[in-house]
Amino acid sequence: MDAIAETRTPQAAAGRAHRKQTTAALALLALGVVYGDIGTSPLYAAKETFRPEHGIPLTPLNVIGGVSAIFWALTIIVSLKYVTLVLRASNRGEGGIMALLALATSSVRDRPRTRAALLAIGVFGASLFYGDAVLTPAISVLSAVEGLEVGTQALQPFIVPIATGILIALFAIQRFGTGVVGMFFGPVCLLWFVALGASGVHNIVKAPVILQALDPGYALHFATRHGYASFIVLGSVLLAVTGAEALYADMGHFGKRAIRIAWFGVAAPGLILNYFGQGALLIARPDAIANPFYLAFPDWALYPMVVLATAATVIASQATISGAYSMTQQAVQLGYLPRMTILHTSERTIGQIYVPIVNWTLLLVVAAAVLGFGSSSRLAAAYGVSVMGTMLVTTLLTFFVLRYDWRYPLGLCLLTTGFFMLVDTVFFAAAMHKVLEGGWFPLALGSFVFFIMVTWRRGRELLIERLRGSSPPLAAFLEVLFLEPPPRVPGTAVFLTSSPDATPNALLHSLKHYKVLHEQNVFLNIEFRDVPWVQAENRIASERLAGDCWRIVARYGFMEQPDVALALEVCAPQGLQVDPMQVSYFLSREKIVPGASEKGLARWRDGVFAAMARNAGSITDFFNIPANRVVELGARIEI
């Protein structure tokens, strides 16, 4: 039975699939999924860096300095910070800010104040990711379609409607999964990076002086010699590194080796050559600032590149949308969001999920951003805040992993992460300068998500405290119960409980109303760990209690889907024999009402939590419980 359980766990299936693919194949897939976002940054990053509104003249020296700043931003933030350092912070093979948060907080368990502060900061960083999930599709698709107006101004009025239509179609097909089109992601993005590099080489040859941008002195000159304007323009330079967080977030899907090969072998050369090429074009033709990306291509290549750019931005958007689904699933199972309907869109590939409420909410907000901002330039002002906020939090969490989990010397930890913290802070401060121009949008969105997360988390903690306080200890209750046992009826009753030591309210109400007890009773507690996967041998802890009762604890990671039916099946070797056709699942449905306790939430937040609890997804679907075998018993809980 343990062997069967091992083969049915998601991590085992994922591991087999991972081993079947060569590193080269994984690197090709990573080009589409991991580097789609950062790979489309050339559409707008250079254009925004050299905008005349910044007040920096478009002289050859300034162009070289701006390209140098972009090059060294890519080198420091992407190549050194993420690819070299952060990818090492593996939470049992998984990455991403939620995985890093779990790793960092577990390393400071003996420091409750530090842990609480890290949780708050980490959750806010994760909340900002949703701003990225909104702005990436909006700015990427819109900037790609804007290439049409380079060919003719007659198409300018149709840019926003076309972009909106593409985005609606993209979100509409999400429910079908990405398995069919996913196989094209890698080849399309490979073609995209090759086109970026070819365009760059074509223009560098015409103005090779741009190669002086490799000298970091030009970047330093550009960032310091223009007064306040230099600080402002850094908020545009950072657009070149948007999407770097995906390198870490998708580590579990492709592995560190494939991600590094794809970056240093294809993505980085293509990006660097293209940015240098756009700089060379601006030195030769300053008027090309209107759209240096598309004008860097020959006239005959304009419309083919619009098509290729649109395909690349759709892929970048798809990766971000899928990331939002994954982030939501992790947040739900770590207790920061209420249960939601999560649909698996592939029987073969672990991790391909679809979350309807997230999908349609994202579409509404993305469409509002496209229609409200109206151009990629206006969206660019909003983009950097959410990106750099998340990156800043990642650097902070990495310090605690280095110091308290890996036990590196304090001086080395401060030196390593302190340098990256300084760079992130400068870029974040530059991005915050654009709060009034649009940066308020991701901040407002992130703050709202943060409020929802902390309200749900605190509300659940209070609810569990009330349930434990109102329920007698399970062992003592059963001891008293079997002194004068009630009549027994055939079958097995499974009671889901929030605490393995407390008597479930559903049992108390069942005895009160039915006045009988099943011949076999299981008290099942589902426990989510702060690791992505739980090994099969650690999945189940079972204990036989008096009167043919069982206490079961089933443990899952935040990347796993709980399965109550399978959990009961795995207990067979310990002596728990369960006939699926003779099982009744007893659940307690709490009606939450605001209370007057000083330790509780504010009354209006009580109402928000109660509304979320009422609209939470089906517990039967979430735990894979047969709906036709469920009995729900109500309880009124005051928090």
Residues 554-595 have pLDDT tens digits of: 999 888 888 888 888 888 888 888 888 889 999 887 777 766
Residues 607-617 have pLDDT tens digits of: 888 889 888 88
pLDDT for the residue 265:
94
Least confident of 202-216, 329-343, 512-526: 329-343
Residue 539 main-chain phi, psi, to 5 deg: -65, -45
- pTM for the model: 0.83
- What single string gives the DSSP state of each residue in 76-131? IIIIIIIIIIGGG--BTTB-SHHHHHHHHHHTTTT-HHHHHHHHHHHHHHHHHHHH
H or E element in which residue 153 lies: none
Strands 583-593 and 353-354: unpaired
How is residue 401 annotated by DSSP?
Answer: I
pLDDT for the residue 202:
95
Read off the pLDDT band of 17 (50, 70, 90). very low
Structure tokens at 590: 């709490």
CB burial of 70-109 (b: ≥16 within 10 Å; e: otherwise) equals: bbbbbbbbbbbbbbebbbebbbbbbbbbbbbbbbbbbbbe
What's the CA gap between 633 and 623, in Å, rounded? 17
Instruction: Give the pLDDT mean for 329-357.
Output: 80
Structure tokens at 129: 């990711």
Q: Are 565 and 579 in contact (CB under 8 A)?
A: no
Read off the pLDDT band of 347 (50, 70, 90). low
Angle among Cα 104, 424, 403 to the nearest 5 degrees reads 30
**Helix segments in 296-355, DSSP class H:** 302-333
Q: Which of 154, 305, 239, 620 is nearest to 439 (CA)?
A: 239
Residues 290-318 have pLDDT tens digits of: 899 999 999 899 999 999 999 898 888 88
pLDDT for the residue 455:
93
pLDDT for the residue 22:
76
Contacts of 141 (CB under 8 A, 6+ apart): 163, 166, 167, 170, 310, 313, 314, 317, 370
pLDDT for the residue 18:
43
Strands 630-638 and 583-593: parallel
pLDDT for the residue 9:
41
Read off the pLDDT band of 1 (50, 70, 90). very low
The answer to whether residue 113 scores a pLDDT higher than 50 is: yes
Q: Which of 531, 421, 327, 429 is nearest to 85 (CA)?
A: 421
The answer to whether residue 497 scores a pLDDT higher than 50 is: yes
Q: What percentage of the chain reaches a pLDDT higher than 70?
A: 93
Q: For residue 389, how many C-alpha atoms fall within 13 Å in the half-sphere facing its CB?
A: 28
Q: What percentage of the chain reaches a pLDDT higher than 90?
A: 42
Residue 498 main-chain phi, psi, to 5 deg: -80, -15
Higher pLDDT, 488 or 618: 488
Specify which residues 518 forms β-bridges with.
489
Specify which residues 353 forms β-bridges with.
344
At 555 the three-state DSSP class reads strand
Structure tokens at 189: 């993005």
pLDDT for the residue 456:
93
The answer to whether residue 534 scores a pLDDT higher than 60 is: yes
The answer to whether residue 321 scores a pLDDT higher than 50 is: yes
What's the CA gap between 258 and 64, in Å, rounded? 32
Q: Which of 31, 34, 68, 427 is nearest to 233 (CA)?
A: 427
* Torsion on CA atoms 439, 445, 448, 454, rounded to nearest 10: -90
What's the CA gap between 346 and 253, in Å, rounded? 15
Distance of CA 95 to the CA centre of its chain: 10
Overall size of the chain counted in residues: 639
Q: Which of 233, 296, 288 is nearest to 66 (CA)?
A: 233
Distances (CA, A) of 243 to 33, 40, 247, 391: 11, 9, 8, 10
Instruction: Give the pLDDT mean for 506-523.
Output: 90
Helix axis angle, 268-284 to 60-73, nearest 10°: 170
Amino acid found at 148:
L
Residues 273-294 have pLDDT tens digits of: 999 999 999 999 999 998 999 9
The answer to whether residue 219 scores a pLDDT higher than 90 is: yes
Instruction: Give the pLDDT mean for 62-82.
Output: 96
Task: Give the N- to C-terminal CA distance of the chain in Å, as an integer.
Answer: 42
pLDDT for the residue 283:
96
- E-assigned strand segments in 142-253: none
Instruction: Give the pLDDT mean for 325-346.
Output: 85
Specify which residues 299 forms β-bridges with.
none
Q: Which of 560, 639, 633 is nearest to 596 (CA)?
A: 639
Q: Calculate the average pLDDT of the chain.
A: 86
Angle among Cα 353, 17, 19 to the nearest 5 degrees reads 145
Specify which residues 631 forms β-bridges with.
586
Read off the pLDDT band of 157 (50, 70, 90). confident
Read off the pLDDT band of 15 (50, 70, 90). very low
Read off the pLDDT band of 33 (50, 70, 90). confident
The answer to whether residue 358 scores a pLDDT higher than 90 is: yes
Helix axis angle, 216-224 to 228-237, nearest 10°: 120
Higher pLDDT, 169 or 470: 169
The answer to whether residue 8 scores a pLDDT higher than 70 is: no
What's the CA gap between 399 and 86, in Å, rounded? 10
pLDDT for the residue 538:
87
- Going along the chain from its start, the domains and CATH numbers come out as 2-458 (1.20.1740.10), 471-638 (no CATH)
Instruction: Give the pLDDT mean for 47-72.
Output: 93
> Which of 147-161, 254-268, 577-591 is most confident?
254-268
pLDDT for the residue 7:
32
Residue whose pair of structure tokens reads 């958007």 in the numeric block: 317
Task: State the burial class of residue 426 (Cβ atoms within 10 Å of its Cβ: 0-12, 13-18, 19+).
Answer: middle
Residues 407-439 have pLDDT tens digits of: 999 999 999 899 999 999 999 999 888 888 888
What's the CA gap between 507 and 493, in Å, rounded? 9
Residue whose pair of structure tokens reads 């559409």 in the numeric block: 43
Residue 584 main-chain phi, psi, to 5 deg: -120, 130
Q: Using only C-alpha atoms, what is the Rg of the chain?
A: 27
Q: Are 504 and 471 in contact (CB under 8 A)?
A: yes
pLDDT for the residue 2:
35
Hey, what long-range contacts does 590-593 have (CB within 8 A, 24 or more apart)?
590/463, 590/467, 590/505, 590/634, 590/635, 590/636, 590/637, 591/634, 591/635, 591/636, 591/637, 592/459, 592/463, 592/637, 592/638, 592/639, 593/636, 593/637, 593/638, 593/639
Q: Are 51 and 236 in contact (CB under 8 A)?
A: yes
Residues 171-204 have pLDDT tens digits of: 988 887 765 555 678 889 999 999 999 999 999 9
Read off the pLDDT band of 348 (50, 70, 90). low
pLDDT for the residue 121:
93
